[in-house]
Amino acid sequence: MEEKINELINQLDSKDSKARKEAIWLLGKLGNTKALEPLANSLLKDENASIRELSAKALGDLGSTEATRFLCEAIKDQSPGVQRQVVISLGKLNDRRAVEHLEKVAEEPAIKVEVAQSLALLGKTEALINAIRDKNPVIAARACEAAGIVKIQEVTPVLIEVLSSEDWKIRRNATETLGKLREKSAIEPILKILLNDESYETRSIAAEALGKIGDATCLESLLKGLQDPHWEVRKNAAEALGKIGDKKASPHLIKALKDPDWNTRFNALNSLGLLNDTHAGESIIEALKDESKNVRSQAAKVLAELWKSDAREPILVHLEEETDQWVKSYIAQIMEELPKEDSKKYKALLVDDDKFISKLLKQTFELEGFIVESAGNGKEALVKAHDFLPDIIVMDIMMPEMDGWEVCEQLKLNPRTGTIPIVILTAKSQDKDIVKSRSLGVAHYFSKPFDSVELIKAVKNILSAIKG
């Protein structure tokens, strides 16, 4: 690596500007501070403005505060592009020594927004607030956008304030940033923008922002957004409804599968998947015939997620009719990932008091098509085994209330549960424990940490041997 760094530093003296640019870019990405002074030299002395600009960026990418003094020296470069990049890099380095230098150029129009952004990153928010309120709408709009990069809550009140601006770009950018900040206090004014703003771009961003905020109070307004005359608003409203997660949106999203815009239909499908609405399956099957190949592909994906192995037949029927080769390939891949049809009939009871392992086990078995119930202790396991009647039980030994050994004994004594195969999954791995498990008729014994693939393989082998 050292040799490569030296080679790139030497390349900075090349007469070929393209070669110098390449070296500067790589030195910034490699992050070796040995390149600091050579890059600083390029920043301060190279006659080519684009070289100086790229050097300023590379110094910021290095991440060393040692670059601050060089960047401050270049802050009044004659090129606005170089100045802009110097200011951005100073903000990136997070060195408060830059504050006084940034404040000296804070009112220069060409870099006002960048200076405000960098000062905000350094804990000085006043310049950014002032820039958002600037009488120049171009500066104000860009400052609203910069606030979305900085992501500090202190600017929230002024962003809400400018939502009533006469300039649609200011309203749009302020709305977008408030969405990024997930600012709930902005919901009401953003709802007004969604329903009333004359600019479709702003209404579209409003729908997107409400989805990011994710509050159920937005539901009714977003449903109205699905009826907006502009497709981009409808598209974003459909996406936002999935993020909010209220199943009351399902009938409206199903209706949106007939929207004239394919982007809206695509997002409606995705949101139905996020809502986990299995009842939407028949409508999604219809979407497998959509004129858009993107929608058809998404329909197959969502149907597989919702219906698991039950999606196999309708997807297979469509696959035989599909003419687009890309879609055929994509759907064929989905078919391969679907759980086998025969695994769907199996029910598994997973018993573990460790919430992380319990969640992991549940996800693993559900992906394989199993119907899953979970229990967090031995007593709960006995009740669920009796009521749920699983085809197999996967169980830890060390648990509160009642340990796994006692649960095994109780299960074997009960005629209703006595024949259910049990797989032990435990951190106990002593020989005596393995011997004890055999004496209790345990079908398989796994020690933690375990391999999920091997566990599923063993479970399927056990079930295959029993059920044929």
Q: What is the pLDDT of residues 276-285, one digit of tens each?
A: 988 899 999 9
| pLDDT for residue 381 is more than 80 | yes
d(CA 459, CA 466): 11
CB 270 within 8 A of CB 284: no
317 or 74, which is more confident = 74
In this structure, what token pair is assigned to residue 219?
């539901």
d(CA 232, CA 172): 14
d(CA 305, CA 265): 17
CA distances to 105, 316, 335 from 338, rounded to whole Å, are: 60, 11, 5
Q: What is the pLDDT of residues 384-442, one digit of tens each?
A: 998 889 999 999 988 887 888 899 999 988 888 989 999 998 877 677 878 888 888 88
Tell me which residue of 227, 162, 170 sits closest to 202, measured CA to CA.
170
What phi and psi, each to the nearest 5 degrees, are found at residue 246?
Answer: -95, 120
Lowest-confidence range among 25-29, 302-306, 397-401? 397-401
In this structure, what token pair is assigned to residue 311?
């999606």
**pLDDT score, position 343:** 45
How large is the average pLDDT for residues 157-178? 96
In this structure, what token pair is assigned to residue 289?
């015939």
**pLDDT score, position 341:** 52
| pLDDT for residue 45 is more than 80 | yes
Residue position matching structure tokens 């006595």 = 418
d(CA 238, CA 223): 8
pLDDT band at 468 (very low <50, low <70, confident <90, very high): low
- Write a three-state SS string for the chain: CHHHHHHHHHHCCCCCHHHHHHHHHHHHHHCCHHHHHHHHHHHHHCCCHHHHHHHHHHHHHHCCHHHHHHHHHCCCCCCHHHHHHHHHHHHHHCCHHHHHHHHHCCCCHHHHHHHHHHHHHCCCCHHHHHHHCCCCHHHHHHHHHHHHHHCCHHHHHHHHHHHHCCCHHHHHHHHHHHHHCCCHHHHHHHHHHHHHCCCHHHHHHHHHHHHHHCCHHHHHHHHHHCCCCCHHHHHHHHHHHHHHCCHHHHHHHHHHCCCCCHHHHHHHHHHHHHCCCHHHHHHHHHHCCCCCHHHHHHHHHHHHHHHHHHHHHHHHHHHHHCCCHHHHHHHHHHHHHCCCHHHHHCEEEEECCCHHHHHHHHHHHHHCCCEEEEECCHHHHHHHHHHHCCCEEEECCCCCCCCHHHHHHHHHHCCCCCCCCEEEEECCCCHHHHHHHHHCCCCEEEECCCCHHHHHHHHHHHHHHHHC
d(CA 415, CA 402): 20
Beta-ladder partners of 97: none
Q: Cβ–Cβ contacts within 10 Å for residue 56, how many?
A: 32
How large is the average pLDDT for residues 269-292? 94
Taking phi first (over 0 means left), then psi (-120 to 50 degrees means alpha), and beta for anything else, what does residue 401 get? left
Lowest-confidence range among 117-131, 200-214, 325-339? 325-339
Is the preceding peptide bond at 449 cis, omega within 30 degrees of 0? yes
Q: What is the pLDDT of residues 90-142, one digit of tens each?
A: 999 989 999 999 999 998 999 999 999 999 999 999 999 999 999 999 999 99
| pLDDT for residue 228 is more than 50 | yes
Beta-ladder partners of 424: 395, 445
Length of the chain: 468
CB 155 within 8 A of CB 147: yes
Q: Dihedral sign, CA of 94, 97, 103, 104?
A: negative
**pLDDT score, position 340:** 62
d(CA 371, CA 376): 17
In this structure, what token pair is assigned to residue 131?
């820039």
d(CA 416, CA 215): 46
Taking phi first (over 0 means left), then psi (-120 to 50 degrees means alpha), and beta for anything else, what does residue 3 get? alpha
**pLDDT score, position 2:** 81
| pLDDT for residue 330 is more than 50 | yes
Domains and CATH numbers, the chain: 182-273 (1.25.10.10), 277-338 (1.25.10), 343-467 (3.40.50.2300)
| pLDDT for residue 342 is more than 60 | no
d(CA 389, CA 92): 59
d(CA 142, CA 433): 67
The mean predicted confidence, pLDDT, of the chain is: 91
CB 146 within 8 A of CB 118: no
| pLDDT for residue 335 is more than 80 | yes
CB 59 within 8 A of CB 67: yes
**pLDDT score, position 429:** 66
**pLDDT score, position 467:** 67
**pLDDT score, position 426:** 83
